[in-house]
Structure 1
């Protein structure tokens, strides 16, 4: 594997991640001038509020909170930030709580109850900031009546195993938890609220990011039923009962755009995958590559998407198309993995391994799929490097690559080769970036 390509790929992915640093995203989006606060182009008179509160949740919540603490200064009355284990950091005014991700745990329930109690003390003359980032849906869970945490965990696990999209998973989460799908906006009403959002979802739909706790919900109990039918899911008696009550109108559906609570809610997108890819492209250009950004909305099964990148690498190597060499092809998004085995890995590592199989023998290429949060699946790797000789290296170590792929054991494969990308927790999360370099 060419050292110069590895070095270049590391610089490009580093720029992609730093380009969506949550602290910087808040600082660029929010400014204070005397008693006036500007979020984008909208102005708020801070002197008109009795109290200003901050509620943050997601992998980037600590960094986002730190930035807003600095901007608001002594105007900030109190706050709470919920983040993933190991993503913590010191804050002055805001209380930091840790919880489980991607599978919700009891600490996430405790955090949600704390926030629910917190919001009950707010009134019509208060302003509540919601700082929302990827992972927020799992990190803050408040089961609805008769639903247990184990019901939510079990169903979430099932959905992930069958390869359900984040939109499908969140549509169900929103109907199982009281804080999702506009739930927090409902709790905060009649306070005014500002939601500052770092997107980790393809297309940036606000009602999907962290399960849309402060925006109108476009999903319904009918959608819940359709997803259950599509994947032939077996539900617990409690979940089945809630679904039936929801379909019959016994249980109220999540609030939609007609609900008056949203008239006091303002939402602003501070960063997303597109911004990350733009920063990646800038660094690639500085390194001398001809650069093409394919899309920031890539979805599908990781193994199949890998074949597309392998075909692009082959075309570049043979015909210097679609770009003259040296070329850097960039894309972003979030793929899925159909779990077939009991190995360890993540969508980016699985994509890299599938790419390696398809690109065998190609020279002077490198493919790096990486999660911007630093954790690809339940591993300590952000992603993995693959080239035309990745399979040959594995063969020399007597590793059966196809068996590794069949068992979803990409982490172990790349660990043996020494080709994992380890960044540690980055403090941000805007899905994945895919970097293909051809010399």
Structure 2
């Protein structure tokens, strides 16, 4: 899966390979083919999704509508499972796959483009054609906020692109970012569910948020929105986001009541929609930890909710590795620290990189000897780069002064690239947030790393 420089031999390369194996296992465990093989079953006319069952003979048509990094693979799996029972549909994704009668629109992520807008509009058009005899299977996955871009009247694609860039550079957490996105969209914040009503809609969610709150995943197109226009304006003020004038006008109009609020909790328009979380960050972490254990490292599943600035989180991970080496607490070496969640970067420089690259470079500056760290985004796209993240050892930093200067300029990508530390996978077909593995070998037995 991962393409990475493997010039280095010995224990360093064995440790790197062990980290890559664990990261790949985590991503594979969260891939739609793996997840849906267990979560979905069809016996006769009975479709089982997790613990819920649907009699397909009770519906005139079954369609697939949704979007996100994993949506193409989900649609493909559903097409294979349902065969002629599937009437069609539309999904927007950056990782397309053949999906029978379902139209798979290839869009871009994390910055939206015209195909995203066209695809989202087609999703809405198909949604409005559904009725109470339609069963809608709706992939809602990480990346859907960008891929399902349907600007409200008065806001255009350039406005959304500028807003997206400003939001992602601000360091704001994803729930705050999506509070803004929902209120300049005709689809997000429960509005797709409103358009689908009265069809029976089942959201198939692959969560890429630490809270597993479906109203945040892909900006919650099927879920009641607990946020308001006023909340969105507060985000812009708190994080000093220079939003386009059209966006500010829309939000102020919402506060003044001249445009409708998104559907909130208990809105009857959403009663026919439900969501099921089929995979999340813990799915990937559990699989990665199992690989580490088989390789001889006692796994410490630290948390699936690591958040905050990437560099600060990296320092905390290094401190835990130091404690393991020094005292054998909270686990004895050889050990593997496994964590997930979603760190952020407040961009103040002019460089290139992503949260996982900043995490990796920040950690490499202080890693204990013989340790190996891997940090990737499970969708294969870390920030606006072609890298999923990086795998580093202490000797990746051969010029500390330059490394710190480039990190300060948010320019981790070229520094890591020059040293063969970046890992690349392309789109992975899933997105369940970040995944990190830090191997801490026993001090008297480095050969196990």
Same fold (TM over 0.5): yes
Compared CA separation, residues 9 and 64, structure 1 to 2 (3 A): same
Q: Secondary structure at the match of 1:389?
A: helix
Query: Which residue matches 1:124?
Result: 132
Query: Which residue matches 2:434?
Result: 432
* 1:7 matches 2:13: no
Query: Which residue matches 2:444?
Result: none
Query: Which residue matches 1:342?
Result: 350
Q: How does 1:344-359 map to 2 (within 5 A)?
A: 344-359=352-367
Q: Deviations over 1:271-324 (max 9, x none)?
A: 000011011111111111111101001100001111101111222222222211
Note the C-alpha offset of 1:23.
Answer: 1.8
* 1:406 matches 2:408: yes
Q: Contact 1:56/1:65 (CA < 8 Å) preserved in 2?
A: no
* 1:147 matches 2:155: yes
Q: Secondary structure at the match of 1:358?
A: coil
Query: Which residue matches 1:65?
Result: 75
Note the C-alpha offset of 1:388.
Answer: 2.2
Q: Contact 2:162/2:243 (CA < 8 Å) preserved in 1?
A: no
Query: Gapped runs of 5+ residues in structure 1?
Result: none
Separation in 2, partners of 1:61, 1:37:
19
Query: Which residue matches 1:200?
Result: 208
* 1:231 matches 2:239: yes
Q: Which stretch shifts more, 315-324 or 280-289?
A: 315-324
Q: Contact 2:77/2:99 (CA < 8 Å) preserved in 1?
A: no
Separation in 1, partners of 2:429, 2:244:
35
Counterpart among 33, 40, 57 of residue 30 in structure 1: 40
Separation in 1, partners of 2:304, 2:238:
27
Q: How does 1:231-270 map to 2 (within 5 A)?
A: 231-270=239-278
Query: Which residue matches 2:334?
Result: 326
TM-score by length of 1: 0.95
Query: Which residue matches 1:423?
Result: 425
CA-atom RMSD, angstroms? 1.4
Higher relative contact order (CA 8 A, sep 6+): 2
Query: Which residue matches 1:373?
Result: 379
Q: Secondary structure at the match of 2:97?
A: coil
Separation in 2, partners of 1:275, 1:212:
21
Q: Number of paired residues?
A: 431
Query: Which residue matches 2:184?
Result: 176
Q: Contact 1:202/1:333 (CA < 8 Å) preserved in 2?
A: yes
Query: Gapped runs of 5+ residues in structure 2?
Result: 1-7, 442-449
Q: Contact 2:302/2:338 (CA < 8 Å) preserved in 1?
A: yes
Q: Deviations over 1:86-138 (max 9, x none)?
A: x2222211111111211111111111111111122211111111011110110
